Chains A and B, each alone.
Chain A
């Protein structure tokens, strides 16, 4: 079990012949992800070989879907073409689209989100490390070795900070169900709130860790839902020392005027009864205290 992806995921990699696409396809195959196809326009008919796997490459998503029964895609396409790839995946009927690409123009991000929603696709990202349902399926670029199976769901806006927290949990003997990096851009698909709803319904997940950061109001929206949840939530907010009006690496990590501050998110988490960690190292103990 776990959420969004799992043993029944049949993955297409869009941009499978690029540097990042091919490198991470290999890592995904090694993890056991069922990669059924690759798409690179102009390279249709070629085969991606790795470790005994032979993955057919198609020119278009619709061919990949029809020939292989794919139901999810992972996008490693450069920023200028990524939104088009996401729309193509949605139109080909993908249930889940994970957009790894960083640097997509924000108007393109709005369009791909609106388009994917219309087709009923779940969009994760862009500018995200992907999703891992531990022991079943890894989609994206997260390092496999940090994960151990267990009852904790994790949602984060970040990449390496996600790894940091997952690693700390694993070292403390606490395993994970599904871990998702939702992305550091201002216009992302799936939000903390969407995923909390999924985790609340997932029988394997007993507790959720939410790693938020400055910018936007997704953390505040999530906190409202936490009040109604039966499962305990542990939280952390990054960016307490970030200056106002500056983008902190992530395009979405910016305090604009009085909006998106760490204080507002910390207050919302506390009010919702979320166990708040002041530093990431406290997260495993807080999780232990609620499990």
Chain B
């Protein structure tokens, strides 16, 4: 789960990490008032769940309160990667001497937490990693033991940062690790971590993402979730209904099934058969009539969906019950599109009879590949007929 910079700053502050002064504003008037209070040059920063805010023009300096007002008029309401900016952070523009990068994230390959530090901060760290990997120092941390002082020293001395600030930087590392672990973060980064011309070490940006699986024990963080930030309207609604659904706008084939790997493969196979997947919908390990009914309703919300392929591999699934569930829900569907069904489990013969005897465009197939070809054929036939 993503949060905004101003929220990440608040969380880091709770762990004793110094950040430059900043306040949130939703109107140019508020921006001006904050700039007057700060009384010197400020930076106005768009708060959206997207990277590359600077490049998109969402981060601007302002020398005076009036200039801050004008800048805010531009930034508020602008679109960055499809997201509308509805609030900005107004922060004290510190005099930057040097910019570093400091972050913690998860190391999937080594199954550890990893500390990442670089003297080349203030720019996209992914780009630094790709073009000049030698400028990045990584230290794996075993969370069963916790971060050790020598690991922090390694990070500080190997990264090429100003070692006269070693003590201050070490303190940032220590506190950021505590913050990362205590909040079940997947990523916590300060980019840049700045040494000011006055010699202070301060975080002037903050970014955090959190583990969705841990939100049950991170109630305060869970409340920061904003609909529409990572999910589109169809995805938000599906999530509220407890469905695992990913929307692929523009596709013409709705896809659902049981199990993530199987559904992903079904998408691939539909593509191979000449269709375009509109979504990924996994209704869980065991298919039930209710589960399939809910899935059909969710998949059909996007008017681009011209047909649906249901792919269920069930060991002990009562396929006749699932088939009856599809027949029962069909008349209640807002739109009628062809539905191809592949169902394995018990009583498959009966399931086939139920579907084919229903006098509805419900087609029973006996394999994934046959189903993919069939749904594409049916959609193409309807398009040609229309």
Contact = CB atoms under 8 A, between A and B. Distances in A.
B106 A159 contact: no
The interface centre, meaning the residue of B216, B260, B264, B271 with most chain A CB atoms within 10 A of its CB, is B260
A110 to B, nearest CB: 5
B347 to A, nearest CB: 14
B262 A241 contact: no
B265 A238 contact: yes
B248 interface: yes
Interface stretch (A2-10, A36-44, A100-108, A196-204): A100-108
B313 A106 contact: no
A114 B111 contact: yes
A240 B109 contact: no
Interface in A40-66: none
A106 B260 CA distance: 18
A238 B313 contact: no
Given A114-B143, A238-B268, A186 B257 contact: no
A160 B285 contact: yes
Contacts of B313: 160-161, 163-164, 167
B280 A248 contact: yes
A133 B259 CA distance: 22
A160 B216 contact: no
Contacts of B246: 242-243, 246-249
A280 to B, nearest CB: 6
A124 B181 CA distance: 24
B108 A216 contact: yes
Nearest to A216: B108
A142 B369 CA distance: 23
B367 interface: yes
Contact of B144 (A114, A159, A184, A250): A114
Interface residues on A, range: 35 or more
Interface residues of B, number: 48
Contact of B261 (A213, A241, A257): A213
A248 B111 contact: no
A290 interface: no
State the majority secondary structure of interface residues on B: mixed
B261 A145 contact: no
Contacts of B261: 156-162, 184, 211, 213, 238, 249-250, 253
Interface string B267-302: 111111000010010100100000000000000000
Contact of A249 (B214, B244, B269, B271): B244
B252 interface: no
B359 to A, nearest CB: 30
A191 B249 CA distance: 34
Given A160-B261, A279-B272, A107 B368 contact: no
Contacts of A267: none
A238 B211 contact: no
Given A159-B285, A211-B261, A107 B280 contact: no
Nearest to B269: A279
Contacts of B142: 114
Nearest to B313: A160
A110 B106 contact: yes
Interface in A130-165: 141-146, 156-164
B315 A163 contact: yes
Given A111-B143, A184-B260, A280 B214 contact: no
The interface centre, meaning the residue of A211, A247, A280 with most chain B CB atoms within 10 A of its CB, is A280
Interface in A209-236: 211, 213-214, 216-217, 221
A162 B282 CA distance: 15
Interface in A52-107: 79-80, 103-107
A79 B213 contact: yes
A111 B144 contact: yes
Contact of B111 (A159, A162, A187, A214): A187
Given A159-B285, A248-B246, A107 B143 contact: yes
Nearest to B265: A238
B2 to A, nearest CB: 11
Nearest to B259: A160
Interface in A228-273: 238-243, 246-253, 257
B47 interface: no
A278 interface: yes
A105 B259 contact: no
Contact of B213 (A104, A114, A216, A243): A104
Contact of B268 (A107, A141, A239, A250): A239
The interface centre, meaning the residue of A111, A141, A163, A187 with most chain B CB atoms within 10 A of its CB, is A163
Contacts of A104: 213
23 contacts: A104-B213, A105-B214, A105-B217, A106-B211, A107-B113, A110-B112, A114-B111, A118-B144, A144-B315, A158-B260, A160-B285, A167-B344, A217-B109, A238-B268, A239-B267, A240-B271, A241-B267, A241-B270, A241-B271, A248-B260, A249-B259, A279-B268, A281-B368
6 smallest CB-CB distances across A and B, nearest first, come from A158-B261, A143-B315, A249-B260, A160-B259, A161-B261, A105-B214
Given A114-B142, A238-B265, 8 more contacts: A108-B214, A110-B113, A160-B285, A167-B313, A186-B106, A211-B261, A249-B263, A253-B264
